[in-house]
């Protein structure tokens, strides 16, 4: 994943991966007969129009975390039409679901995120920021593309497994509210992955690849600090204690501490409640922090440092503070046999082939990025039909995936068929 991109900020963390216990022989999967892989690849290519429709439809729904209502209804209906059993509301989360197929044999879980982001409404196909509805949510992380690709791959794989009597089970699951780190830990706690033999996760990116071990991504704790003071009229502020002062002191102290934190950390905050109007001393104020680092021990240290600073800020301002843990995730740790199997498939399908028709958009993007300092001027234009090389990476049970563009650190990222990374859980 490219260095400090928008992508890293959220999804990296989020790819908390559900546990996978590998009892099946992955090298054996990688060695599945080439003819079968070719058959699956051809079938996926044949669904290019469906993939385009799914990617564009989910983009148009533009639903943020926990509000993926139309998205989930739409995607699960397609899966049901194609013979998958859908269970809705898993782990007590209304927009979460699983779609399973098959009996007996190894269980392979296929996941990808589906939530949008607040304030990222974007006109399809525009490589510059151009909201369709100013301030409305949108897909700025490419979460409109992963699940459609997995669905196309799963349907093709299922059909081939049925045709040749190959034993095995597939379970598709969505990363609901991934940007909030809000559901995957609950899935694990609910036992969603307890019978899973291999778990494969796909996320859009500007490169086509896979990896194993420490993937260089970050874990995270999401926590809200609520400061409690005493409200008072601004004309007599000595009667009050400002909870907002507590928040501001905490933020100032954290920013001073930042220089002395490990270079690997990243931390961010937003004030979610800063009071009502200037002439009222705010009795309540809140600030929401993300603490991120490369290993979980460091994430914990950041979290504990944040807690300490919040308490010091409360003391300094005559307020009190409570905190609410909103989510957390460990850094990714990729499975080596799965990554090697995926890489073998990547080699088989090869890199995307750029056509002459692709060149104008690449040139236009190059021009735009040369004149703008922002590393990501385009936000997830929806995809046009996916071409073979990228989609075919989904061949077989060892999956890598691909799709459309988003926050591009490279010109490839607005290419309609630019590939994405597959994360192996
Ligand atoms: Zn993401």
- pLDDT at res. 11: 30
297 Cα: distance to centroid of ligand 1 (angstroms): 23
- What spacing in Å lies between the alpha carbon of 146 and ligand 1's midpoint? 9
- What is the distance in A from the centroid of ligand 1 to the CA of 113? 6
Distance (angstroms) between ligand 1 centre and the Cα of 256 equals 30
CA of 315 from ligand 1 middle (Å) equals 38
Dihedral sign of CA atoms 197, 295, 330, 55 in order: negative
Classified by CATH at the fold level, domain 219-329 comes out as Alpha-Beta Plaits (3.30.70)
Q: Which residues surround ligand 1, an ion (CB under 5 A)?
A: 11, 113, 141
What gap in Å lies between CA 187 and CA 327, rounded to an integer?
13
Q: What is the pTM of this model?
A: 0.74
Interval between CA 337 and ligand 1 midpoint (Å): 24
Looking at 82-176, list the stretches that DSSP marks H as alpha helix, in order from N- to C-terminal side. 146-164
Residues of the chain with CATH 3.30.70.360: 219-329
Tens digits of pLDDT across the chain (425 residues)? 333 333 332 232 223 222 233 334 444 455 678 899 999 999 998 999 999 999 999 999 999 999 999 999 999 999 999 999 999 999 999 999 999 999 999 999 999 999 999 999 999 878 788 999 999 999 988 999 999 999 999 999 999 999 999 999 999 999 999 988 889 989 999 999 999 999 999 988 877 889 899 888 889 999 999 999 999 999 999 999 999 999 999 999 999 999 999 999 999 999 999 999 999 999 999 999 999 999 989 999 999 999 999 999 999 999 999 999 998 888 888 899 999 988 988 888 888 777 887 776 666 555 544 443 332 322 333 333 333 333 333 322 222 223 323 222 222 222 222 223 233 22
**Cβ neighbours of residue 321 under 8 Å, at least 6 residues apart?**
225, 226, 227, 228, 246, 250, 310, 311, 313, 314
What separation in Å is there between the alpha carbon of 174 and the centre of ligand 1? Answer: 12
CATH 3.40.630.10 fits 6-216+332-424, yes or no: yes
Distance CA 140, CA 358 (A): 22
How many whole angstroms from 112 Cα to the centroid of ligand 1?
9
Structure confidence at residue 216 (pLDDT): 81
Distance 204 CA to ligand 1 centre (A): 7
- In the reported structure, the alpha carbon of residue 420 is separated from the centroid of ligand 1 by a whole-number distance in angstroms of 11
pLDDT at 360: 65
Report the separation in Å between the CA atom of 13 and the middle of ligand 1, taken as the mean of its atom positions.
Answer: 9
**Spacing, Cα 335 to ligand 1 middle (Å):** 20
Q: Where in the chain is the domain with CATH 3.40.630.10?
A: 6-216+332-424
Q: How far is the CA of 310 from the centre of ligand 1 (A)?
A: 29
pLDDT at 132: 92
Burial class for 102, CB neighbours closer than 10 Å (0-12, 13-18, 19+): buried
Give residue 180 CA to ligand 1 midpoint distance, Å. 10
Find the 145 Cα to ligand 1 centroid distance in Å: 10
Q: How many angstroms separate the alpha carbon of residue 281 from the centre of ligand 1?
A: 39
């Amino acid at each position: 994943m490219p260095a400090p991109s928008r992508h890293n900020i959220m999804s990296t963390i989020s790819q908390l991966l559900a546990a996978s216990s590998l009892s099946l022989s992955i090298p054996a999967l990688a060695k599945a007969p080439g003819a079968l892989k070719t058959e699956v690849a051809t079938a996926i290519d044949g669904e290019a129009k469906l993939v385009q429709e799914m990617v564009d439809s989910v983009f148009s729904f533009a639903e943020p975390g926990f509000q993926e209502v139309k998205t989930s209804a739409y995607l699960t209906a397609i899966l049901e039409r194609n013979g998958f059993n859908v269970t809705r509301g898993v782990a007590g989360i209304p927009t979460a679901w699983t779609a399973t197929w098959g009996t007996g044999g190894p269980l392979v879980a296929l996941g990808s995120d589906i939530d949008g982001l607040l304030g990222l409404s974007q006109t399809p196909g525009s490589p510059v920021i151009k909201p369709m509805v100013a301030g409305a949510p949108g897909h700025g992380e490419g979460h409109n593309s992963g699940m459609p690709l997995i669905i196309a791959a799963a349907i093709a794989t299922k059909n081939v497994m049925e045709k040749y009597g190959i034993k095995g089970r597939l379970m598709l699951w969505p990363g609901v509210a991934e940007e909030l780190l809000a559901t995957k830990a609950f899935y694990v706690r609910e036992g969603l992955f307890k019978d899973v033999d291999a778990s494969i996760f796909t996320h859009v990116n500007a490169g086509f690849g896979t990896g194993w071990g420490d993937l260089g991504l970050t874990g995270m704790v999401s926590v809200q600090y609520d400061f409690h003071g005493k409200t008072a009229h601004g004309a007599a502020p000595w009667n009050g204690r400002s909870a907002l002062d507590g928040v501001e002191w905490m933020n100032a102290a954290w920013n001073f501490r930042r220089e002395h934190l490990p270079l690997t950390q990243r931390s961010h905050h937003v004030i979610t409640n800063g009071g009502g109007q200037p002439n009222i001393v705010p009795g309540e104020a809140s600030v929401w922090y993300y603490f991120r680092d490369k290993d979980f021990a460091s994430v914990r240290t950041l979290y504990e440092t944040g807690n300490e600073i919040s308490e010091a800020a409360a003391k300094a301002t005559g307020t009190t503070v409570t905190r609410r843990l909103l989510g957390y995730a460990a850094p990714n740790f990729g499975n080596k046999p799965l990554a090697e199997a995926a890489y073998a498939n990547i080699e088989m399908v090869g890199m995307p082939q750029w056509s002459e028709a692709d060149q104008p958009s690449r040139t236009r993007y190059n021009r735009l990025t040369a004149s703008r300092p922002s590393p990501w001027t385009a936000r997830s234009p929806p995809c046009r039909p996916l071409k073979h090389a990228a989609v075919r990476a989904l061949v077989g049970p060892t999956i890598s995936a691909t799709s459309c563009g988003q926050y591009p650190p490279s010109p490839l990222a607005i290419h309609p068929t630019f590939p994405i990374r597959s994360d192996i859980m």
